[in-house]
Amino acid sequence: MVALGVLLTGLLAGLSMQSGGIDIFGDTRFGGLLFSSGGVGVAVALILASGTAMVVRRRSVLAGLSIAAAVVIGGSVLLFSSDSAEVVAGGVLLGCSAVQANRRRGYRALLIGSFLLGLLSAGAVEALHYPAVPRRYADYLTESDMGTPMVVPVLCVFVVVAVAWAARNENQGESPATERDIRTVAAILLVTIGGLLLNVAFVFSMFQSEYGFGDRWNYGLFVVLVLFAAAALLPGRSGVMVLAGTAVLLTSTTTSGVGISVSDGVWTLGLVAVIAVSVAAGTALGLRWGRPLIGVAVLAVVCVTALFESPPLDNVHYVASLIVFPAAAAYLYVACTPAAPTPSTLGLAIPVAITVPMVVTYGWTAYTPLTSALTDTSWPEKWLSTGGASATVVLAGVGMWALNRYRARR
C-alpha cells in the first residue's frame, strides 16, 4: 500500500505543481512583478517541498500532511480555483512522497516516474477539462461554460484513501534519517530565490523591449550558473540529482508539443498513454541498467533534434519530444538514485521552479502566428540557443561524473 500511496501522491504532485506564470497584465514595475507573479507560489512550493523532506520524519505526520494537501488541491479545483494553492499543496505532496519513498530504491523509482508523468501530461489533463473549447480561449470563459473538472478531484480522493489506508496498516515510526546541513539549506534558497529573480527579470526585460522576446533566451545561461552552484553546494554526491534536473530542464526547453484538438478526447488520452508508457520504460531501464551518462547523452541528442524544423525531418523532433524525452528523463533520474530525500525533491522540482526559457518557442495568437514576423532572426537565435542547451546538458553530465568520481571517495 505504501507503493500505491507513493505512486498516486507523486502523480498528483506533478499535475499540481504548475504555475500560471507571471501576471503580465498587472504591475509592470520590477517590484510589482516580483510580488504579483505566479513564480512566488512556485518558490514557496519548492521551499515547502524541500523543507518537508528535510525536517519531517514521522510517518503519521507525513500521512496527515499528504491528506491535507490532497484536500486543498481538490477543494481548489472544485471551489475557488487558486493556482497558487494547488502549486504550494503540490510541493508539500512532493516532499512527503520523497521521504516515504526513501525506504527502497523501487519506491524512489515509482515517485520519479509518477511525478514526471504528472508533469508531462498536465497539459493534456487540463485539455480534458475543456472538451469543446481550445485551451487558448479557456481564460475568457465563465465557470458555467468551462464545466467541472473531474480528473484531479477523483485523483485527490484516491490519494486520501491510499495514504490513510497505508497509515493505518503500516508501522508509524520514523522514516530513515534525512540530511540537515547548512549547505543543503543554502542550495535550496539559491535555486528558489535565484530562479524567481531571474524569471521576474526576464519578464521585466520583455516589458522594456519593443520586440518582445527577442534574443532573451540568454537569460537561461544565468540559470545554468545558479543550478551548477547549487549542485556544488550540496554535500557529497547529492548534487547529481540537481544536475540531472538541470539536464532535464534544458532539454525540455527544446522539445516540441503536438497540437491535438481538445474535443478529441480519445487522442488526448492516447497522448497521456504514450507518455506513461515512455516514462515507465525509462524508469524500468534505469532500475535495471542505470548509467547516468547514457541518459545525458540521449538528452543531448534530443536537444539537437530541435534544429529539425522542416518536413519531413520535423517528425524526428516530434518523436524525440514525445517518446524519447520522457523515457530519457525518467532513466536519468532513476540512474542517479539512491539519493537523500531533499536532493531528490530539489532535483525533481527544478523543471518547475526554473521558468526562464533557454529556447523561446513562439506560439500562436488568436488570429496569426507570431513566427511570421520573426523569420529573419529566428534561425541564428535557434542555432545559438539550441547549441547552448545541448552544451549545458553535456556539462551536466561532466559534473555528474566528477561528483561520482571524487566526492564518493570522501
CB 152 within 8 A of CB 125: yes
In contact, 325 and 251? CB cutoff 8 Å: yes
Phi-psi bin for 141: left (phi > 0), alpha (psi -120 to 50), beta? beta
Q: Are 332 and 285 in contact (CB under 8 A)?
A: no
List, for residues 129-177, the tens digit of each pLDDT value. Answer: 665 555 444 554 544 455 556 788 899 999 999 998 888 777 655 555 5
Per-residue pLDDT tens over the stretch 251-267: 988 887 655 444 566 77
Q: Quick check: 174 and 58 in contact, CB under 8 A?
A: yes
DSSP designation for 408: G
Q: Any idea which of 48-57, 356-365, 377-386 has the lowest mean pLDDT? A: 356-365
DSSP element (H, E) containing 100: helix 83-100
- Split at pLDDT 50, 70, 90, the class of 22 is very low
Can you name the residues that pair with 58 across neighbouring β-strands? 174
| Residue 350 and residue 258 in contact, taking contact as beta carbons nearer than 8 Å | no
Residue 353 pLDDT = 83
Query: Which stretches within 209-319 are classed as H helix?
Result: 219-233, 239-252, 265-289, 292-304, 314-319
Question: Of 337, 273, 355, 321, which Cα lies nearest the Cα of 105?
Answer: 337
pTM comes to 0.86
In Å, how far from its chain's centre is CA 404?
24
For the stretch 195-221, pLDDT in tens is 888 777 776 666 665 554 445 556 667
Whole-number Å distance between alpha carbons of 207 and 201: 10
